[in-house]
Each structure stands twice: as structure tokens, then as C-alpha cells.
Chain A
Amino acid sequence: MSASVHKETAEDLARSVRDGSRSASEIARAFLERTGRTSDRLGTYLHLDPESILAAATAVDDRRKSGEPLGPLAGVPVAIKDNICIRGVPTTCGSRILEAYRPPYDAHVITRLRQAGAILFGKTNCDEFAMGSSNENSAYKPVRNPWDPERVPGGSSGGSAATVAAREAPLALGSDTGGSVRQPAAFCGVVGLKPTYGSVSRYGLVAFASSLDQIGPLARSARDAALLFDSIVGRDPRDMTSRPEAKGVDLEELERGVKGIRIGIPGQFLGEGLDPEIRACLDQVRDGLAREGATELDVALPHARYAIATYYLIAPAEASSNLARYDGVRYGLRAGNGDLRGMYETTRGLGFGREVKRRILLGTYALSAGYYDAYYLRAQKVRTLIRRDFTEAFGKADVLLLPVTPTPPFRLGEKTEDPLAMYLNDIYSIPASLAGVPALSFPAGFTKSGLPIGLQLVGKPVDETTLLRVARAWEKASDAARRAPALAEAAA
């Protein structure tokens, strides 16, 4: 029985634990065993402690035996990106500066997952402080794409996407600032949701760019993503941006199909530079959804082409401020002899990697005297224009359909020497981040060479339901979400 556990949906796993047909311990053992076969090759985990995983599973089984109610994720392993705090568990953010750090508290989402009966399944590898689009910025090791280990899994939540794609864990949490859940989801062929800004509390998420950061689920299906989202959504007084109107998703809503849903396609924005196979896939999905009863229309996002320039001023500026806390005084690495200032400079010089330093320098520059108005303030004004584009588009459309990335997954090392080329890869994911609206990457198809293609749905604020509903309709209409990487099949 345990041989088939990894093929089950999270929904079915939780149901089987609740009705007693499977134990949480059996599930935990099965996933630990699978993870053991592939995670070293893929580089998916920075910390995995089988003992605590099995202890948590036993606790769920004990609760069932004593007749206590079990939550919606009872016994389901959920991998956690390493920038989300778990009390007493190493939380490095993929950085040397937090190498030995163990937070004294749980993030809000961790508290919620514990309440839902989930099994916290290891800390996933990521780009350092969530800065990157390829997972090559982890200070510890890169993550590899389960569909082709010579290629990147995307970033920064590359470990979370790859572990779900490789069937090492049924669910994972990531964080998305400019596309860090959606882009790796697209590269790894899984579902990744960036919720509406403010829907999920960031209490305990290590801050990168606070006006953009949002925690989101990764899963193999729209229903499983909805289940995980539903377990973490909602108001938390410890996050001042947490929205009172945030709401979860009713799974039955997802089965209603797309009849009458108005799908907007920003034709002009897609423009040049989009890989022809991704373009063809988008046309195929558009036609397929039209056959299911959706209507299609063209929308304009005239300022979206300025999104990368806007983002690479706002996000580094906020990061330079947020990362000022790593000073070698209260936690994390301390280095350098001599005076206090020298200690700060040496600690940060040794503790941060190249990409993090580049962004701190860029952000410090954009905020420095004489440049604030020309860079940061201007970027915030352009952000307003980008938001207005979305408001206008949603006057006509219920949901927007666009690519997640301009190309399929690229090779390791291909863009590491050219930061701007790496940044340009985020052209389609960043606009929704700046607007604060929900966006989802779903498995849409494959290239001729067998690499996954993800497409993106962008929705109105707090309307995650429609995104998941359209993705669910495509799951039923195509087999894109049913294929598994050869590496995962071989490990079965």
C-alpha cells in the first residue's frame, strides 16, 4: 500500500487518515523513503529530520485513536520553504548569515498547519533570502529540476516546487515576492498560487520586500492547492497588512467549470521574446477553455512593460532596509575583530552572497540622498499606473491568462553571470505582484523536448477561487497535470 502513497492527492491522504484506512505514520514513512532516494540528487532540502516527522505523525495517529477530531490536512506532509520560521528548527533562508539560527517561535502559517493536522516535512532549499529566479543563489547548494537535472527548477521557492514535482512531498509552502512561487511552479510542472497581498499572514516569514511578500501553496493539483491555501488564509493581528476580507476556497466551487467566465488576454504585452512553444501552448489553452464555455477578450496592460524596472527599484530598496537587521549582534553569524562598525561590515560581507549584496547596494543607492525622488518615489508612482491597468482590465475580464515565464527552464549556469538577463525572466510574473492581486501558475502543457510549460492566471483581489476553478477546468480537459517526471517514476 505504501508504494502508492506518493501518487495520492493530499485530499485523499487526509481523508484516508481521518477514516482510518491509512495511518499518518505509514504516510510519513513512505514519503521519507521516497525523499531519501532523490533529494540528494535534486538538492531539495536544507534540513530534514525524520525523527521529528515520525513523532508528529505518531501524534496524529494517537489523536485519532483517542477519538479527537482531525483537521483537513491530517497526516499530510507539507514541506516548508526555509525562510518560514519553525520554532527550534534551523531556518537559514539559504544564507550563511543564518546558518545556525533556530527561531524561538512559529510563523502564523506553521501554527495553522499544526492545527490542520499537517506534518511539517523539512525545510526546502531556496535562493538566499528569496532573491533569485533559478535557485542557484542558495549558499548551500543549487536545486535541480526533476524533469531535467541539468536545468534549473526556477526560484526562489525552487526546493518547494521540485520536491512536489518529484513526489517527495504532496504539498509545500513557498513565498512569492516577484514570482517566486509561480515561476518555479511553472518550471517544475506543478500548481503554485500567490494569494492576494494580505490574504496570508507573514508573521514568521523572513522579510524580503514587505510591500510585495506573500506566502503561497505549491501542489500537484488545483484542489490540493486550494486545500492548503484554505488552511493558511485569514486574518492575523500580528501582520498589520493582513486583510479582514481574506477568504478561503470552497472545493466544490472549483468543479463548476468555466462556462461564462470572461478570460482576458493581454495580447500586446505578450509581444516579442516569448518562446514560440509557450505561445502555442497559451493559444491551445485559450481555445480549450473557449470550448468549455469561457469567453475570450483582449485586454491592455499598457504599463506592464515597466514592471521589471519598477520592481528592481522597489524590491531592493525594501530589502536593503529589511536586511539591515543582520548585524551580528542578536543572532546569526558574527565575524571580524576590532570595532563595532568593522564587526557589522565584516559580518555582512562574509554572511551575504553576491546577489543579496548586489540588491542591498542597489536598494541603498535608490534610497540615498539625492536619488530618492528619481528612483524610489518614481517607481512607486509607476506602480500606481500598473495597478490601474489591472483595475481597468478587471472591469471587462474575470481573469487574465498570460505566460509565467518567457522561456522553458534554462540550464544551470546559463544566466548566473548576467544578473539583468536573470531579472528579465520575471517579466510576466512581476506585474501581478506590484498590483497585489492573486495569481496562479498551473501545468498547461509540455515542450517537444518534454519540459513543463506553466501558464498564469491573474484574478481580482481575494478571488483566488476563480483562478483555481479555471486551473481545475484545464486539469480535466488535458493531461498536463497528470504526467510525472521520469526521475519520480523511476524512484517509485
Chain B
Amino acid sequence: MRIDAGTVRKIAALARLRVAPEDEERYVRELQEILTYVEQLQALDVEGIEPTSTVVAGEPVPLRPDEEISSDVRDEALAAAPDREEDYFRVPRVV
């Protein structure tokens, strides 16, 4: 798979990540090198092999009892906000 500056710009946009224009070439080179390395997986026959998404085996994890618990951390959580107004997180205007 060939990576170019356009690919880097496209995936950076998908990831909502600003990449400085002067860094683009570097990421092209590095991603190309890593993706070339991982190409070796294409040589393996994985026909009929189930994918592993979790290694937790055995009995399903039991559900916790459906009990009411208090988690009153609203003020503390809001205190960490970069910008807020009353009990809301404030963000740049979207409409």
C-alpha cells in the first residue's frame, strides 16, 4: 500500500488531528515503513480462523446487581472543563 501526503491529510482529518505541513513528509515516510513491515501478515493463511477481540475466556463476566448508587461528581467533573457556562460544557458555536 502506497502512502502519500494526500493519504496522511485524509486520515489526519478523519482523526481530527492537525498535522503541520512540514511534518507531512515525515509521517508519509514513517507510516510507509510501518505498513510495509506489517504486510508480512498477508502471507499467512487465516482462512477459517476466528478473530480474537478479547482474551477473556471461560464463564461470562457476571452482571453486577441492579442497585441504585450515588455518583455525585457533577461539580468536580465540570470543574475540569476548559470552558463552561453554569452546568454546561461550552464549545465554539456550531449552528
Question: Which residue numbers of A lie inside 8 Å of B, CB to CB?
Answer: 101-102, 104-105, 197-198, 211, 237, 240-245, 303, 306, 308-310, 312-313, 320, 324, 327-334, 338-346, 348-350, 352, 354, 357-358, 360-362, 364-365, 368, 371, 374-375, 377-385, 387, 419-420, 423, 434-436, 461
Contacts and interface: CB of A to CB of B under 8 A. Distances in A.
A412 B8 CA distance: 29
Contacts of B8: 361
Nearest to A240: B61
B16 A375 contact: no
B60 to A, nearest CB: 10
Contact of A245 (B30, B58, B77): B58
Contacts of A461: 57
17 contacts: A105-B73, A211-B53, A306-B41, A312-B34, A324-B15, A331-B77, A343-B92, A357-B27, A358-B27, A360-B15, A361-B12, A365-B11, A379-B41, A384-B49, A384-B52, A420-B37, A436-B55
Interface string B60-95: 011010000000010011011111000001011110
Interface residues on B, range: 35 or more
Contact of B51 (A332, A360, A377): A377
B5 interface: no
Contacts, number: 169
For the residues of B in contact with A, the DSSP-based class is loop
A188 to B, nearest CB: 28
A383 B92 contact: no
A360 B86 CA distance: 34
A334 B83 contact: yes
A250 B76 CA distance: 40
Interface of B: 1, 7-8, 11-12, 14-20, 23, 27, 30-31, 33-35, 37-42, 44, 46, 49-59, 61-62, 64, 73, 76-77, 79-83, 89, 91-94
Given A331-B82, A364-B15, A380-B53, 12 more contacts: A101-B80, A102-B80, A104-B80, A241-B54, A328-B82, A333-B82, A349-B17, A364-B11, A378-B41, A383-B51, A384-B51, A385-B49
Contacts of B16: 324, 327, 341, 344-345, 348
B58 A375 contact: no
Contacts of B76: 104
A102 B81 CA distance: 11
